[in-house]
Amino acid sequence: MRHFALLHKEKNSKARLGRLETVHGNIDTPCFMPVGTQGTVKSIPQKELHDSGAEIILSNAYHLFLRPGAGVIKKAGGLHKFISWPKPILTDSGGYQIFSLALLRKVSDEGVQFQSHIDGMRHFLRPEDVVKLQEDLGCDIMMPLDECVHYPCAQGQAEVAMRRTLNWAKRSRAAFRGDGQFLYGIVQGATYDDLRRECAESIVGMDFDGYAIGGVSVGEPKSLICDIIDVSMRYLPEDKPHYLMGVGLPEDIIEAVGQGIDMFDCVVPTRYGRNGTAFTSCGKMTVRNAPYSEDFTPLDPECGCYTCRTFSRAYLRHLFNTEEMLGAQLVSLHNIYFYLNMMRRIRDSIAADRFAEFKKEFFSKYSIKQ
């Protein structure tokens, strides 16, 4: 099966239209993947995801390995059936979560030994184990185990992690069977151009189905994120999908699309939604704040989501201030819709060779400082 088709390159930028093909359906790119870490996009039922236009979601192999366990999911017929989501799923390896959440961990070239952040049980995962785990989950796109370092990071430490990532990528590639699934390679190297170049060239030489830029949005300034994308993208092939992991805010996504990125994921829409912050055409707004107590307008008058068609800012504020869980659900649903609709508008602008005009129009109203 052909996995990626490049459909159109925007004339005035590096933005591009594409289509990902999987056994569970196709995905138009550039795309945003709502994050369903533990098999659920927090507070959003699957039907609402579908109605909002989601074509793919992301889950996390580390969390699913710990709970409910790959054996349970395999008995259910795979992750799609277990969570009742018929469309494509990408699973992250959980490498970042192992390094950030595990109680104790010991990293070696062979793999990662760690204690569960849930119950303290000890586990050891090799790159081959992580591939097998994701094969058992039955995801459409899987990510190999990699080592991500935080910012700032000394070059020597970044180089060790990068070379270990390459070693694990090679072993993951050898263990991968295919069978209707796809495996992406991950470019690491922190903020060091020479490491990014070496990693990208080596990863591309292994001939993965797609390529991800990892190790971004880990504390570095936004200007460095743009630099990392630019350096990494110089060495990635045009005929494969480009995935920027863990980014981000609307303004970050729009900038990265202009650099040629096809795929995005981030917990921001639902995390902000649970805290009462909505993304709107005019920027972020915190609906729990006092000025909205008698504001009977929608969150965003330009939005067509269920929340904006049905409820007022005053009612949503009331829900948060009375700690009703419906408030978090409704604002999260709005944020998911906002992101997915933004991606639709981005794709339309690329198709019409008007991405620069879209970007200018978007930021003429959208306030980043709110």
Among residues 165, 163, 245, 230, the alpha carbon closest in space to that of 191 is found at: 230
Angle 193-205/155-175 helices, nearest 10 degrees?
10
Task: Give the C-alpha separation, 163 to 159, whole Å.
Answer: 6
Question: Does residue 11 contact residue 352 with C-beta atoms inside 8 Å?
Answer: no
H-type helices in the chain, by residue range? 46-52, 61-66, 70-75, 79-83, 95-101, 127-137, 155-175, 193-205, 222-233, 250-257, 268-274, 306-310, 313-321, 325-351, 355-365
Is-catalytic flag, 265?
yes
Among residues 100, 40, 29, the alpha carbon closest in space to that of 256 is found at: 29
**Catalytic residue among 92, 136, 140, 300, which?**
92
Is-catalytic flag, 207?
no
**Catalytic residue among 252, 262, 265, 300, which?**
265
Task: Give the C-alpha separation, 50 to 31, whole Å.
Answer: 14
CA distances for 271 relative to 34, 132, 145, 178, 286, angstroms: 11, 30, 25, 34, 13
Catalytic residues: 92, 265
